[in-house]
Amino acid sequence: MIGQLRGNLLATQPPQLLLDVSGVGYEVELPLSAFAQLPALGEPLTLITHLVVRDDAHLLYGFLHAHDRLLFRALLKVTGVGARLALEILGAMDAGQFAHCVAQDDVTALMRIPGIGKKTAQRLIMEMRDRLAGLSAGVIPANTAPAMNTRELALNDAISALLALGYRPPDANRMARAVDDGTNTTEEIIRAALRQIPNS
């Protein structure tokens, strides 16, 4: 099992990055929210990782914090939740915010995450409640983290859309935050961000 990688960041193409570890390039998939926190290309980076071995591939998933990997592994045990959906959840909200949603039975907040419908949200709450209770209280502070509000969700969705359009993580983060006035919808943030780009 590969549990950690330390090297230099070579390239990013969300949701994947390339990390040079002593001359070996590792392709690692991360939650989209993590890309805004990455260092510049060529700079050192340490990732906490989870390796999935399939018949046709070995897949590495990376996280900036150990508690995110802990939640990722717990999510994989939920019926119908695979690695891709677990990454979507971690890309939309951090471990504390997710734990708060579970504790408060907040189906609506979970349904804002791409790929999660009402039944999946209800199943996540039901199956994760006991698992979260069994995790270290210091790792996922369910009773202290605020629920992700509508503005944060809209902003994160807009950043994810800009990343999908090919913008670098720091640029996507900067563009979205520069035009968000706290009331915009995801679509309004994206349109406003794209309008700021000078015509070539």
Which of the residue ranges 73-77, 151-155, 195-199 has the most confident prediction, judged by mean pLDDT? Answer: 73-77
pLDDT in tens, 19-63: 999 999 999 999 988 988 899 999 999 999 999 888 888 899 999
Higher pLDDT among residues 137 and 195, named by residue: 195
pLDDT of residue 140: 52
How far apart (Å, rounded) are the C-alpha atoms in residues 81 and 181?
Answer: 34
Instruction: Please give the CATH superfamily to which domain 150-196 belongs.
Output: Ubiquitin-associated (UBA) domain (1.10.8.10)
pLDDT of residue 141: 47
The yes-or-no verdict on residue 199 having pLDDT over 70 is no
The pTM (predicted TM-score) of the whole model is 0.68
The yes-or-no verdict on residue 138 having pLDDT over 50 is no
How would residue 193 be classed by pLDDT, with cut points 50, 70 and 90?
A: confident
pLDDT of residue 104: 85
How far apart (Å, rounded) are the C-alpha atoms in residues 71 and 85?
Answer: 12
pLDDT in tens, 163-191: 777 787 778 778 888 888 777 788 888 88
* DSSP secondary structure code for residue 198 in this structure: P
**Span 67-136 CATH architecture:** Orthogonal Bundle (1.10)
Q: What is the DSSP string of 84-145?
A: HHHHHHHHHS-HHHHHHHHHTT-HHHHHTSTT--HHHHHHHHHHHHHHHHHS-TTTS-TTTS
Domain locations in the chain?
4-63, 67-136, 150-196
pLDDT in tens, 142-157: 444 444 455 566 777 7
How far apart (Å, rounded) are the C-alpha atoms in residues 95 and 93?
Answer: 7
For 4-63, the fitting CATH number among 3.90.230.10, 2.160.10.10, 2.40.50.140, 3.40.50.2300 is 2.40.50.140
pLDDT of residue 151: 56
How far apart (Å, rounded) are the C-alpha atoms in residues 149 and 151?
Answer: 6
Q: How many Cβ atoms sit within 10 Å of the Cβ of residue 111?
A: 14
Closest by CA to 142, choosing from 104, 89, 92, is 104
pLDDT of residue 170: 75
